[in-house]
Structures are given as C-alpha cells and as structure tokens.
Amino acid sequence: MAARVRPISGFPEFLPNGRIVEQRALAALHHTFELHGFGEIETRAVEPLSVLLRKGEIDKEVYAVRRLHAEPGRESSEEDLALHFDLTVPFARYILENAGHLAFPFRRWQAQKVWRGERPQDGRYREFRQADIDIVGQDSLAAHHEAEIALVALEAYARLEAELGLPAVVLHVNNRKLSQGFYEGLGIEDTAAVLQRVDKYDKIGPTKVAELLVTELGLSQSVADQCVALAGIQASDSGFIDAVRALGVTSELLDAGLAELSTLVDTVTTQGLSGRILADLKIARGLDYYTGTVYETELLGHSKLGSVGSGGRYDQLASDGKRTFPGVGFSFGISRLLVPLINRDEIRASRDVPTCVLVAVTSDEARADSLATARELRARGISAEVAPSADKFGKQIKYADRRGIPFVWFPQGADSGEVKDLRSGDQVQASATTWTPPAEDLRPSIIGPGQTS
Amino acid sequence: MAARVRPISGFPEFLPNGRIVEQRALAALHHTFELHGFGEIETRAVEPLSVLLRKGEIDKEVYAVRRLHAEPGRESSEEDLALHFDLTVPFARYILENAGHLAFPFRRWQAQKVWRGERPQDGRYREFRQADIDIVGQDSLAAHHEAEIALVALEAYARLEAELGLPAVVLHVNNRKLSQGFYEGLGIEDTAAVLQRVDKYDKIGPTKVAELLVTELGLSQSVADQCVALAGIQASDSGFIDAVRALGVTSELLDAGLAELSTLVDTVTTQGLSGRILADLKIARGLDYYTGTVYETELLGHSKLGSVGSGGRYDQLASDGKRTFPGVGFSFGISRLLVPLINRDEIRASRDVPTCVLVAVTSDEARADSLATARELRARGISAEVAPSADKFGKQIKYADRRGIPFVWFPQGADSGEVKDLRSGDQVQASATTWTPPAEDLRPSIIGPGQTS
C-alpha cells in the first residue's frame, strides 16, 4: 500500500534507537514501582464522554471517538466515548468499578499514553505518555503516604540518573493546608483564586503576582505582599517554619500544613535523600482537587522543560456517594522528559538494535549451521541474528556494521567458529556453547546527557 | 469525582492479578523477540483516515477521532484521523516515513492496542492488544525469512508454555504459491475467490466448500473436488508433496510453492521443533495481500479460540512508487489468547501484588526504622512495603494476608528483626542486609492451565 507519510504534529514517534531509551526508562520506573509494592493496572483508552467532562475546563482538549459508520438504530444505545486525557480520571473510575476486589490502601502504577487536543508546542503533545503512581485509601488515608510517594518518586528519578545518565532532579514540595491556612489567617476568603495567581510566580515574577492579587482580587497591597512573601520561601529542611512564622500570620490550618510539610521533608532527609527535596512555598498546582502535599519536579539544568513530574494529595479521588476514596499520587511526564532529549540526540542508545552477534552464513546450504549457532548463543541470553544472505564475508560484515551489531561470528560447523569484534578488529576462535561477550556489549547501553560515549 | 462505573462492552480490563499475567506474557515475547534481533517500535494510536481506508472492506470497523470542539477555522487544515485497527498499516507508513534511517532487512516488534468497531462477541474485542514481528526488505526479501518467522513464533510460544504454563501450540502453515499454483493448474482464473471459500473449510466442512465452489464460482464438480482434496492435506513433514502430486495437477507456481513450504517445514524440524509445525493446505487467510507462506496457530485444547497468532509473506507491504518493501510478519493475538483464560481464572498470578515483604510498624515514632528496613530489602531486589498503620501486629498481619503478601517483618531497629512466613507460620530472626526469601516467592509466579497451585 502507498501511504501518506508525513508526521502528524503533536504525535511524536521515535526511531528504534529512541525507543530503546524510552523502553529502558519505563523499565527503570516499573522496577522501582514494583520494589515499593505498586502493582500495575492498565485501563482502556476510552471513557464515556460524560465521565471525562465532569472535571470541567478540559472539554476543548478532549478527542471524541466514534465508529465511522455507526448504524443509527443499533448504535443509539451506545454511549459517546472519548480518549482519556490523563490517567487519574480512568483510575478513579476503575476504583469505583472494582472496589470490591481491591484491598485498601490500594497501590497502583500505570504507564499509558494520553491524548489532548491542545495546540502542539515545545513540550506539549497531543499524544504523550505518563507514568502514574497512586496510593488510595477507603474513607481515610494517613498523611505519611505523602512522604512515601516523595520517596518513591525520588528513588525512581535516582534510578533514571544511574541507569540512563539523566540529569538529577529536585522535588519541590508544598502543602495546600499551609497556603490556604496562611491566606485564611490573612482573612482572605477565595483562597483558590489566590493560589491560581501564585501559580504564575515563576512565569511573571513576584511583583506582577502581587499586582494581580490587588487588581483582580481586590486585596490590599500589604496582604498581597504577605502572600508573595510566603511564596518566596524555600528551604531544604524544616527551616521554612521559622520563615513562615516570621510573617506573623496564624491559623489552625496553617499549623497543620507546616507540621505535615516538615514531617515530609524530614522523612525524605532521614532516608538519605537530603538535597533532593526542597520545601518551595510557591508551588500551587493549578488543579482544584489537591488538599495536602503538592509536588513538582525540576530537572537540574533543564528548567525550561517545566515540571517533569507532578502530583499531590486529594481527599476525594472518587466517591460513589456512600464511600469516598482519598489518595495521593504522582505523575511522571515520560514524553515531556524524553522527547526533547531524544530528538536533540542528548540521550541515545549505543546501538540501534538489540542484536549482539551477527552469525555469518558461509553458503546457502550451511544456513542451518548458522541458525544452530545463533540458537546456542540465544540459549545463553545473547541476542543473535543470522546474516540475510550468503554474500562475501566483507559484505556481511558491512551489514553488521551498518546496523551497529558489535560482533560477527564466522561459523565452522554449528558449534564453533571465529568471532570478530568489529570495533577492535580482533578475531578469536570460539565455541557457541561457551563464548560470552563483555557484559557492556550484551545489550545496548544508554548514553545520557551526563555521559560521553 | 463520582463516575459512571459500568464496563464498556468489548473493552476488556484486568484486575491487578490478571495484569500480572499479561505483563509476564509480554515480557516473555519481548525477551524472545530481542534475542532474535528484533528492535521495538511504537507508533502513534492514530493515522490519517485516508491511510486506514485504503485497505478497503474495513471502513465499518474504524473509530474516527476528532477534537470535541474543533474550531472551524484553524482545524480545517487538519486531516481526519482515526484509531489504527492493526499494527501493519501503521508499520507500513512508519517504513515509508523513516526508510532513510533504517537498515534493511529491517526487523521490528511492536506490541500495542488496536481498535475495531466490531460487534463485541466471544474472542472479539473493540480494544485489544496484538504483538507483531516483521522482517521487511527493500525491493527484495529472501524466502528463508519465512522460516525464520516460524522459528521465532514457535520459540515465543514455547517460552509462554514454559514460563506461564500456557498450553502448547501447533503452527499451521501453507503457501499461497502452492494453492494458487494448484488452482491455476486446474485452469481456474479467479484464484482469490477460491481461497475465500476454502477459508471456510473448518467452519462449514469440505462438502459445503465444494458446493460453494460449484454454485458460486461455477466450477465443475470434479475441479471443486480437487480444490477440496488439496485443502484436506496435512503433514508434519515434506510428506505433503507426494499427497499433492497424487492429485495430478501441475504448474510452475505450484512447484515453487511446494519447494518453499517443504524448505520451511524442514528448517523448523531441523531446529528441534518437529511436532510443532504442520503443513496444512486449507490455511488460506482472508487477506488479499499475502503472496507466500501463511501462518495460523492452534492452541492445543482450545481450538474454539480460533487462531491465536497469524501472519504471512507479502511482496508489497509498502511502496512509494519508487521503492517497494516486501515483508513477512506474524501477529500474536495477546488479548485473544489471554482474556478468556484470565476471565475464566484458568491462569492467574500466585498473588495480587508484587510485594514480597510487609514491614510492620511498631509505633508511629518508629516508622522511620521500618522505612529503612524496607529500603535495605529493596536494595537487594526484594519488593517491600511498610504497613499503613501502627496497629496491633495481628491487624498488620491480616492486612498482609488480605493482599497476598507472603512475609511480614517485625523490626527491631532499622537493620534486624523477625520475619514470619504467613503460610507456614514460621518466624525467624533475620537481618535486613542479608535475609533473602526463597526464589519462588521473590515475585508472583504464574499458575497456568497446565499447572496446579
């Protein structure tokens, strides 16, 4: 079939090399999540439109899905469907649908693509992948899980740093109770409106935020200044408490927020991750539903990417009227993190293929020997493929070289032969049942921004 | 958010236990494919509608996708999009789009969901997962790759059998050249029309097929009988050649087909897989584009499922007018294979969670000790989570038991403690830096139809 072949804007795809990088990143996350007792779920790509639109605001971004030739009669009973735009709404639906089969607190991870009809731009895609972790309780959920999610997130990023050479991160944390309590202590009623303006702190700076608070919300200059002063506080330990107290505002909710945030920072620090966490009181997160800790993630040296992982505590992830499910979650922006790095070739795999050994073919009649050699190698976990044709060896070597395969095996019968390292040119006698490549050549390695090839 | 919670017919989802089974099956395939030098690609979920409809026939099954509130002006330049209904069409487009960056023969695997608006019924879903392998050449592709695909497919199924206890399979193979050559030797012109009827052999039986050939295609009874006699031939080795010859039909294309099919069966047998392959001359495959070997897969003892993996050789996977890309591919029907088995509980994971150890909490103040213990265990690859509350130990044990976690750790400080096997009740002194669970408890094991728990 002939086909239209231009890329569709906002729907990034990788060449095989880039996919190896993404595969390895997902494996690192998967491994971390399961070490912490998170099991995976996967939800269907579509939800009823009515479920997706309940969140409001998002309707312009939703992709509706319908059968091209839905037959009017039969189809009228079917609901309108749309592609999910995050993994939280489908998860909430999954919880309600399966609550009777799940043990709470329920811990799950989920790594799927999501779709949003936003105008594509740098770092924004129409199809992109997220990896989410959440811990969800039935009716209640202890605050220490908010520290736990921070620990899991930091350990996942540490693994990406160690295994892929990705830059280190700093987790910026705040607590909604702290901000809201502070605003309430100042006598502000519409605290959500203040948060929405403070959310622009990094983009427009403190002076402009204070201006908005005065002109749009009618706060006095001094109250606005207090809000901006709070947002300016950062500390890598409980030192933020004194800084907040120095502003002279008090409320019970503020006290609760200070205590929770300080416990979280202390817990993370005690578990050997000091320097990776920053209490950052300007972190607001746009979304209404957060009620405790909120997280954002800064990729050091790449702050232009924005937060590469975010989340928070919500007292009501889902509810069926009878039961309520509070939760705390964190979403890793896989595409946001990897697409720019891969496209700019700042991270790549050492070769384009999994293959470690190309087994040459001496003649068409002897192909079975080469197949047997490859089978022996694979039985010991060595990726091997057999040359596509019994060309002159020079041509077979060139084929391996073009694909980035490091070793070529010249068979002498099914079990033994000579194996050539294409990089050094060394060629040695070897047996297919014992020869082993250096560990670093067994599979492609990842060369990240922090490493040289 | 409250949400509609009923399942959508045709969009299967698994509980966490079922997803462990699927995860493990995908890992087994991934591992096999990469050992054979297939690299993974992933394509976007959508293609231009014009690309998807080029195949014809399928239009009723396509799910169109559009932004819910596409702004009339700006959006008019955007193409109509739809969800892919297989992985072959997107792969063909990917080949054309990236041919300059790929080395041919190009080997790839791809495991994604696809969507078809068919009426949901047993074994047919609207959203389901396939895993495809293909080898694609530029302008030419040697026939031995058709044997190679059979070898990879059989090795993949053997791994599913060994690691998941799935039933064994038999790969049924035929060759389009053989069937077409035979029909041509009989003087039949519309060979595709004959194939379409022969495709119903298993469903309606040989007598009915012969009837259709006579009544619908106007073949003489004796010619129709010859076609049906060919379709009835099966052999696990080259014995099928004599059986075909005995029918007294000759043509060059038939000879080519017989030679290719016999080479394929011999190659597979020589590589230690005799008994797993069956030359089965009624295998037709509905699709027009196959030109050589065609494959179907029978899951022994579950023939009602139909073919759980199918594919074939196509001389023109893609073409841009200048270059042509012939290929051979095989598609593993992951959902078709697993959804019925999982839903009927014929295959399941030994526990619902990855967690091997629940670290108990002796008091809220000592939670940091429990976190440290869990961290030590994880550092050695042991999945561990910390109990959600410092309840009485009995309650913490009950929590572990309900989640299927086999071990509970009672900490005495951060590094040592006692560990209890909930199944035997045995409790021993242990150090977090050295204690190791039995290998079979490290992660959930899979209990398949061939095994007892």
Question: What's residue B72's pLDDT?
Answer: 56
Domain assignment present for residue B261? The answer is: yes
As a whole number of angstroms, the distance between CA A133 and CA A110 comes to 7
- CATH code for position A225: 3.30.930.10
From the list B198, B202, B172, B177, the residue with the least C-alpha distance to B290 is: B177
Q: Are residues B301 and B384 in the same domain?
A: no
| A54 neighbourhood in chain B, CB within 8 Å | 1-3
Task: Tell me, yes or no, whether B52 lies in a domain.
Answer: no
- The average pLDDT across A214-230 equals 97
Among B25-29, B183-187, B319-323, the range scoring the smallest mean pLDDT is B319-323
pLDDT of residue A30: 98
Residue A375 has pLDDT above 90, yes or no: yes
Share of chain B above pLDDT 90, in %: 83
User: 3-state DSSP call for residue B274?
Assistant: coil
* Per-residue model confidence (pLDDT) at position A124: 83
Which CATH number is A371's domain given? 3.40.50.800
Is B32 part of any domain? yes
Location of structure tokens 């469903």: B203
Are B40 and A16 an interchain contact pair (Cβ–Cβ within 8 Å)? yes
Nearest CA in chain A to B272: A372
In sequence order, what are the residues at sequence separation of 6 or more whose Cβ sits closer than 8 angstroms to the Cβ of residue A228?
Answer: A198, A201, A206, A207, A209, A210, A213
Q: What is the pLDDT of residue B321?
A: 86
Asked if A94 and B13 come within 8 Å (Cβ–Cβ), the reply is yes
Strand partners, B110: B132
Is residue B93 less than 8 Å (CB to CB) from chain A?
yes
pLDDT digit string, tens, across residues A98-108:
999 999 999 99
Q: Is B139 on the interface with A (CB under 8 A)?
A: no
- Is A322 within 8 Å of chain B by CB? no
- Flag whether A208 is in a domain: yes
Our CA-based measurement puts residue B4 at a distance from the nearest CA of chain A, in whole angstroms, of 6
Which residues in chain A are contacts of B444 at CB distance < 8 A?
Answer: none
- The residues that bridge with B46 in the sheet, in sequence order, are B83
Judged by a CB distance cut-off of 8 A, whether residue A393 touches chain B is: no
Share above pLDDT 70 across residues of chain B, in percent, rounded to a whole number: 94
Identify all chain A residues contacting B321, using CB atoms and an 8 Å cutoff. Answer: 2
Query: B168 pLDDT band (50/70/90 cuts)?
Result: very high
In degrees and rounded to multiples of 5, residue B67 shows phi and psi of -60, 135
CA distances from B307 to B17, B23, B163 (A): 25, 21, 21
B35 to A384: CB separation less than 8 angstroms, yes or no:
yes
Provide, as residue numbers in chain A, all residues whose Cβ is less than 8 Å from the Cβ of B402: 103
Whether residue B339 is found in the same domain as residue B231? yes
Separation of alpha carbons A329 and A391, rounded Å? 56
B67 contact A CB<8A: yes
Tokens of A174: 């705040």
Contact A388 B8 (CB under 8 A): no
Q: Is A46–B142 a contact, with Cβ atoms under 8 angstroms apart?
A: no
Are B253 and B396 in a shared domain?
no
Q: Is residue B290 annotated as involved in ligand binding?
A: yes
Query: How many CB pairs (< 8 A) connect A and B?
Result: 279
Cβ separation B19–A3 shorter than 8 A: no
What is the model's pTM? 0.95
Q: How confident is the model at residue A118, as a pLDDT?
A: 82
Q: Are residues B153 and B190 in the same domain?
A: yes
Q: Which residue has the tokens 């300059």?
A: B100
Using the predicted structure, report yes or no on whether residue A73 has a pLDDT greater than 70: no
Q: pLDDT by residue (tens digit) across B254-299?
A: 999 999 999 999 999 998 888 899 999 999 887 678 999 999 999 9
Q: What's the pLDDT score for residue B57?
A: 55
The per-residue pLDDT for A3 is: 45
Asked if A385 lies within 8 A of B318 by C-beta distance, the reply is: no
What's the rounded Cα separation, in Å, for the pair A216 and A201? 15
CB contact under 8 A, A45 and B115: yes
A340 and A390 in one domain?
A: no
Do B204 and B334 lie in one domain? The reply is yes
Mean pLDDT of B226-232: 97
**Chain B window 244-273: which residues touch A at a Cβ cutoff of 8 Å?**
267, 270-272
The phi and psi torsions of B299 (rounded to 5 degrees) equal -85, 115
Instruction: Give the pLDDT score at A246.
Output: 97
Q: Which amino acid is at B391?
A: D
Q: Which residue has the tokens 């990896």?
A: A131
Whether B63 is in a domain gets the answer: no
What pLDDT is attached to residue A59?
A: 60
Range of the domain at A418: 357-447
Q: Which residue of A has its CA nearest to B47?
A: A8
- Is position B289 annotated in a ligand binding site? yes
- Residue A165 in domain: yes
A150 belongs to a structural domain: yes
pLDDT for B71 equals 60
Kindly state whether residues B241 and B310 are assigned to the same domain: yes
Task: Establish if B80 belongs to a structural domain.
Answer: no
Check residue B3 and give its pLDDT: 45
Q: Are residues B371 and B330 in the same domain?
A: no
Selection from B271, B283, B164 nearest residue B235 by Cα:
B283
* The last residue of a domain, from among B319, B348, B377: B348
Nearest chain B residue to A49 by CA: give it: B68
User: Looking at the predicted structure, is the pLDDT value of residue A318 above 90?
Assistant: no
- Answer yes or no: do A159 and A308 share one domain: yes
Query: Mind listing the pLDDT tens digit for each residue in A156-167?
Result: 999 999 999 999
Distance CA B30, CA B337 (A): 16
User: Which of B24, B68, B370 has the highest number of chain A CBs within 10 A, making it the mutation to test binding with A?
Assistant: B68
Q: For residue range B89-112, what is the model confidence (pLDDT) as tens digits?
A: 999 999 999 999 999 999 999 999
* A287 shares contact with chain B (CB less than 8 Å): no
- Is residue A97 pLDDT above 60, yes or no? yes
pLDDT of A452 reads: 52
Q: Touching check for A403 and chain B: CB below 8 Å? A: yes
Residues of B within 8 A of A109 (CB-CB) are none
In this structure, the answer to whether residues B335 and B442 fall within a common structural domain is no
Q: Which of A12, A105, A267 sits opposite B368 (nearest CB)?
A: A267
Residue of A nearest to B90 (CA): A3
Residue where a domain stops, chosen among B321, B348, B375: B348
Q: Does B148 touch chain A (CB under 8 A)?
A: yes
- Provide the pLDDT for residue B453: 47
Identify the band that residue A79 occupies on the pLDDT scale cut at 50, 70 and 90.
confident
Q: What six digits make up the tokens of B69?
A: 């509130």
- Contact across the interface for A117 and B35, Cβ inside 8 Å: no
Residues in chain B with CB shorter than 8 Å from the CB of A389 are 142
ipTM reported for the complex surpasses 0.85: yes
Burial B347-359 (b: 16+ CB within 10 A, else e): bbbbbbbbbbbbb
Same domain for A185 and A224? yes
Query: Where do runs of H (alpha helix) occur along B316-428?
Result: 334-343, 367-379, 393-403
Are B321 and A11 a contacting pair at CB < 8 A?
A: no
pLDDT on residue B121: 73
- Predicted local distance difference test score (pLDDT) of residue A387: 97
DSSP for A266-295, written as a single string: HHHIIIIITTSEEEETT---S-TT--SEEE
Q: What is the mean pLDDT of chain A?
A: 93
In total, how many domains does chain A have?
A: 2
Q: How far is B367 from chain A (nearest CA, A)?
A: 9
Among A68-72, A389-393, B24-28, B352-356, the minimum mean pLDDT is found in A68-72
Mean pLDDT on B147-171: 97
Last residue of a domain, one of B348, B380, B411: B348
Predicted confidence band at A451 (pLDDT cuts at 50, 70, 90)?
Answer: low
Binding residue numbers of A: 86-88, 116, 130, 134, 285, 289-290
Residue among B35, B67, B353 minimizing CB distance to A39: B353
pLDDT, tens digit, for every residue of B1-10? 444 577 888 9
Q: A68–B63: do the CB atoms touch at under 8 Å?
A: yes
Query: Which residue in A109, A144, A99, A33 sits closest to B387, CA to CA?
Result: A144
Partner residue facing A354 (CB), from B1, B34, B102: B34
Tokens of A211: 């201006």
User: Best residue in B4, B135, B325 to probe A by mutation, most A CBs within 10 Å?
Assistant: B4
CB atoms A355 and B37 under 8 Å:
yes
B35-94 pLDDT, tens digit each: 999 999 999 999 999 888 876 555 568 999 998 876 655 545 567 899 999 999 999 999
Q: Identify each DSSP E strand in B116-165 by its residue range.
A: 127-136
CB B353 within 8 A of CB A37: yes
Whether A40 and chain B come into contact, CB under 8 Å, resolves to yes
- pLDDT by residue (tens digit) across A342-355? 999 999 999 999 99
As to burial, measured by CB atoms within 10 angstroms (0-12 exposed, 13-18 middle, 19+ buried), residue A271 is buried
| pLDDT higher than 80, residue A72 | no
**How many Å apart are CA A393 and CA A401, to the nearest integer?**
12
Q: Name the residue of chain B whose CA is nearest to A390's CA.
A: B142
Residue A178 has pLDDT above 90, yes or no: yes
Give the Cα separation of A222 and A225 in Å (integer).
5
pLDDT tens digit string along A27-36? 999 999 999 9
Residue B134 annotated in ligand binding: yes
Most confident range (mean pLDDT) of A401-415, B32-46, B403-417 is B32-46
Q: Does B213 touch chain A (CB under 8 A)?
A: no
* Residues A162, A277 within the same domain: yes
